Structure 1
Amino acid sequence: MKTGQRDWEAIVDLIERVLADDDLLPAVVAAVRSHVEESATLPVSDITGHTRVLLTAAGRAVAGRRAPTEAELTVVEQLAVNRSRQGIPIDVVLGSVRISERAIWARTRELAHAAGITADSLLDARELYDDWADAVRTRLIRAHRDAPRTHDAWDRDAESMRRLLEGGSVAALTAAERGFAAGAGLWVLVTRPGDAVSTAAVRRLTDGSGVSLAAAVGDTLVAVVPGPPVFRPGGTRPVVGIAGPVAAEELGVAHRLAVAAVPAAEATGLSGAVHIGDVAPAAALISRPDLAEALALRHRTAHLELGAAAEAVARTVRAWLEADRDAAAVARILFVHENTVRNRVQRFATVTGIDPHRTFGAISAWWLCQAWTADS
């Protein structure tokens, strides 16, 4: 590689400028549709989505001076399978890629000349791109040829979901392959599987949202949809954790947040569709069992001092905090006198030294009470 580090930084900057060029993508798509007759039958969004993610993946590979990753090649395989099902011959697929390449490199050369980048440096970048493109073409040809031997629809959904939740360029490529509109915000839905009610709740949320994808992931049921849920927290519906909207590249992070929303909603008594933003404090606390254990150990003596009354005190204090310190409301819920509620709150404050009337004291009190009652 002849290009030095400083010159390569200029190449990386050039790649970023090419990727950010708002006029490039429409020009590439127009060229493909006008020169490849079979592509004219495909939706513009389909071609645009695939072109965008392939261009982005190629740019990142060249900037990083690396070959395509196996995860990126797996997404390329899915593109080939999809084109095979659409009846698009492999030579047409490869022809579309070549047309895209010509348009992209024509723009790159134009910007490189204006930026004072030498021909040798640009050649180094082109050689890296050609290596990347060769690997992509090889996988395209093989996957297109072997398309009839793919798995059944549910397996494909599970595999696509795995790649979506991987995040990054792999998720972007997969989102385009599954038909999600390029640049559209995506939402992740998570619920506990195992019963028809939970499954039906997720299906209701995805109805009418257009393109959507659902699959079992570990011990959860996960769906990715292009629009927000249609019902709000409340009632007796099962909890469905929600995160979004995010770009396809951020689906992995959104998935973790949606997963965290489920126990947080359950801990705070919510049901139905619950966005992580509505239970962020609870999710943050519950996601740190090590700190919860430290808090419980710190107040172990207080727990022993309360003895048999510890659970009743903890439930009362927690309910009191969740009811905005309304003793009358808690008394009705727990079927006790208002003074009993006040006495238990005062007893908790005395033995723990935590003042639940103060902001951070209330947080510690809720968290400690949640830890004390978690296994009961």
Structure 2
Amino acid sequence: MKDGEHDWQAFVDLIERVLADEDLLPQVVAAVRSHVQEAATLPVSDITGHTRVLLTAAARALAGRRAPTEAELTVVEQLAVTRARQGIPIDVVLGSVRISERAIWARARELAETAGIPAERVLDARELYDDWADAVRARLIRAHREAPRQHDGWDRDAESMRRLLEGGSAAALAAAERGFTSGTGLWVLVTRPGDPASATALRRLTEAGGRGLAAVVDDTLVAVVTGRPAFGTGGAGQVVGIAGPVVAEELGVAHRLAVATVPAAEVSGLSGPVHISAVAPAVALLSRTDLAAALTAHHRAGRAVLGPAAGAVARTVRAWLEADRDAASVARTLYVHENTVRNRVQRFSTVTGIDPHSTFGGITAWWLCHSWTIDGGA
């Protein structure tokens, strides 16, 4: 086998190892949900399934040095139609794909350098991939544009909802026009669009909420009601973010809080109707990407010391904190020995200088480990 062919096969094998990494796909999905607000309300299984299909198809195309097949493009069309029906704009779909691409290629370049694969072979592979991706994007755009839209009948009052969610005097006027007069304030509920179970859960929650309005706005299913939602009637598997009660002028703020509640609830392992107050710390942490960046930058040296073990250490420490520092429980979940859990916690503390046993040290440790596991570098 010629050197060029040998290098190419070595790179193809490397790509297959990258895609077989059980930690990579969750990191990619977490990065998409973290950086693309519209994707944060989609089910993790939804994003994971489509991402896995696209990455597998790309790897096969690289191995065969070919353009996408019609079968692969049919799958791409199905993704475009699904996102269109969910109300996700095409630029958001393409942005999510780009985030996935960056994560995959960053890992591939890193491993290729370690494996001694020439840089020009990696460049050749990237050029071939870009040709494949251009064809995929073209089909995505066309299928998304031609797909029929449906929003479960909730978009009939979208314009009124937008005025309410502006907040301030515009919201006060819109609320008065709708007859939203409630001495106990207004409530905002948010869930995912395009999912019948989510829409049903939101409807149940609003049935006992007095006068209300529902619509698909900015790619989320939103409801504003004048009475307290029936918290015990939401679908157990569907997260519905809730904020309120507020006066009409503050509906814009309540909407942002309700949207932020959905990913925060999922990170916290909660489901069903979740009020912002139940996940306020997680919302505060996850919404401050600037502080998260400063935190990870400050501990960059510590992660470098951990090297390839950084991902396992971060996931273990985070799981340990979320399990109330129960090493035995985490060991069963991660299929490792209890001593492995304790050793990883100690290792994290040693390289970062953070004491995860203390109150604020635990908060900082969770935040740092969460950042490490979603930025593609752990």
Deviations 1:43-77 (A, max 9, x none): xxxxxxxxxxxxxxxxxxxxxxxxxxxxxxxxxxx
Is the Cα–Cα contact under 8 Å of residues 155 and 214 in structure 2 kept in the other structure? no
CA distance in 1, matches of 2:370, 2:341: 17
Equivalent position SS for 1:213: strand
Q: How does 1:70-219 map to 2 (within 5 A)?
A: 157-219=157-219
CA distance in 2, matches of 1:352, 1:233: 44
Q: Name the residue aligned to 1:223.
A: 223
Give the CA deviation at 1:192: 2.4
Equivalent position SS for 1:159: helix
Is the Cα–Cα contact under 8 Å of residues 169 and 249 in structure 2 kept in the other structure? yes
Equivalent position SS for 1:228: coil
Q: Name the residue aligned to 1:289.
A: 289
CA distance in 1, matches of 2:229, 2:312: 37
Q: Name the residue aligned to 1:353.
A: 353
Give the CA deviation at 1:182: 4.0
Number of corresponding residues: 224
Is the Cα–Cα contact under 8 Å of residues 264 and 282 in structure 2 kept in the other structure? yes
Unaligned stretches of 5+ residues in structure 1: 1-152
CA distance in 2, matches of 1:239, 1:375: 24
CA distance in 2, matches of 1:373, 1:206: 36
CA distance in 1, matches of 2:312, 2:284: 25
CA distance in 2, matches of 1:293, 1:331: 30
Q: Name the residue aligned to 1:277.
A: 277
Is the Cα–Cα contact under 8 Å of residues 233 and 270 in structure 1 kept in the other structure? no
CA distance in 2, matches of 1:318, 1:290: 20
Identity of aligned residues (%): 74
CA distance in 2, matches of 1:274, 1:248: 21
Q: Name the residue aligned to 2:312.
A: 312
Read off the aligned partner of 1:179 and give its amino acid letter. Answer: G
Give the CA deviation at 1:178: 1.7
Give the CA deviation at 1:236: 5.2
Equivalent position SS for 1:325: coil
Q: Name the residue aligned to 2:298.
A: 298
Cα RMSD, aligned residues only = 2.2
Give the CA deviation at 1:161: 0.5
Give the CA deviation at 1:173: 2.4
Structure (1 or 2) with the larger CA radius of gyration: 1
Quickly say closer, same or farther: Cα 1:233–1:306, change in 2 above 3 A.
farther
CA distance in 2, matches of 1:361, 1:268: 18
Is the Cα–Cα contact under 8 Å of residues 155 and 216 in structure 2 kept in the other structure? no
Equivalent position SS for 2:189: strand
Give the CA deviation at 1:184: 3.5
Is the Cα–Cα contact under 8 Å of residues 229 and 273 in structure 1 kept in the other structure? no
Equivalent position SS for 2:231: coil
